[in-house]
Amino acid sequence: MNLGFIGTGHIASSVIEGIFKSKLKIKKIYISPRNRTIAKKLSKRFKKITISKNNQQLIDKSNWVFLAVTPKVGGKILKKLNFKKNQKVVSFISTINLAQLRNFIGKKVKIVRAIPLPPISIRKGPVPICPPDKQVKSFFDKIGTTVEIKNEKLSKNFWATSGMMAPFYELLKVLSDWLIKRGVKRSESQKYITSLFVALSEDSAINSKKDLKHLVKDSQTPKGLNEQALKQLRKAGFYRHLEKSLNSILKRLNKV
């Protein structure tokens, strides 16, 4: 199977890396010339990658086409491109919905929206897809964990939570910088903080069938340090603000 990527940026290169670390049987990957630097790097690294002359050439040569451009660019270029009948189009574009994509593309193609996240480059993380699609599910299951969502409105809730990646990394940064200010070397503080959160994440994934409130409870000793931190953060509105941010991201997603 030949794959094509329109837009060679952060998420496209993460997915491509994941593909080459997986057992997926891919004949060729055609990528668009933009971003030029990333496209050149990828084609040097992986023999099966070819930089196309333009987006149309890439569509003509691919069985599946991934849309990995920003919403603004998507809105500008999709109408002018000629997709093949029955081609599979997988869109990573956050704020262009299925009806708009159908309208832009015009032809009768199978469109699936997907939300891979950068850790897909190490074959980790969830990939919500909407609408459900057997082939797309089986593809993403080889580089992550596919979550099929029937209803597009529901899928927007998943999009909203995916906006918490940068806040998560900021949390790690604040904790690590705090240790550095107290004299810990950067290499040591970053090693400590990242491995602490890897351990907590792995533990929570193992326990993900139970209500997460048990993890919150079990990680506190009465009158202990975790209890104090949680109480103070709750009182300061830290978690209320987290929920507020999610609500406003969702509101933005619901406008399109």
Ligand X SMILES: NC(=O)c1ccc[n+]([C@@H]2O[C@H](COP(=O)([O-])OP(=O)(O)OC[C@H]3O[C@@H](n4cnc5c(N)ncnc54)[C@H](OP(=O)(O)O)[C@@H]3O)[C@@H](O)[C@H]2O)c1
**Is the Cβ of residue 8 or residue 146 nearer to ligand X in the bound state?**
8
Of 63, 100, 118, 157, which one interacts with ligand X (CB under 6 A)?
118
Interface with ligand X, residue 220, by CB under 6 A? no
The closest of 137, 140, 148 to 123, measured between CA atoms, is 140
Smallest gap from residue 128 Cβ to ligand X (A): 10
**Is the Cβ of residue 81 or residue 189 nearer to ligand X in the bound state?**
81
Site string for ligand X, 4-33 (x = CB under 6 A): --xxxxxxx-------------------x-
Size of the site for ligand X (CB under 6 A): 24
The closest of 211, 228, 208, 212 to 220, measured between CA atoms, is 228
Indicate the residue whose CB is closest to ligand X: 9
Beta bridge partners of 66: 5, 90
**Is the Cβ of residue 158 or residue 192 nearer to ligand X in the bound state?**
158
Near ligand X in 174-213, by CB under 6 A: none
Burial of 23 (0-12, 13-18, 19+ CB in 10 A): exposed
**Is the Cβ of residue 193 or residue 253 nearer to ligand X in the bound state?**
253
Burial of 150 (0-12, 13-18, 19+ CB in 10 A): exposed
Of 1, 24, 51, 77, which one interacts with ligand X (CB under 6 A)?
77
Of 117, 184, 215, 246, which one interacts with ligand X (CB under 6 A)?
117
Reduced to 3 states (helix: H, G, I; strand: E, B; else coil), residue 93 is coil
Interface with ligand X, residue 125, by CB under 6 A? no
Interface with ligand X, residue 70, by CB under 6 A? yes
Q: What do you get for the CA distance between the two ends of the chain, in Å?
A: 33
The closest of 74, 141, 152, 125 to 65, measured between CA atoms, is 74
Q: Is the dihedral of CA 201, 91, 69, 20 positive or negative?
A: positive
- Residues making contact with ligand X (CB under 6 A): 6-12, 32, 34-35, 55, 68-71, 73, 77, 92-94, 115-118
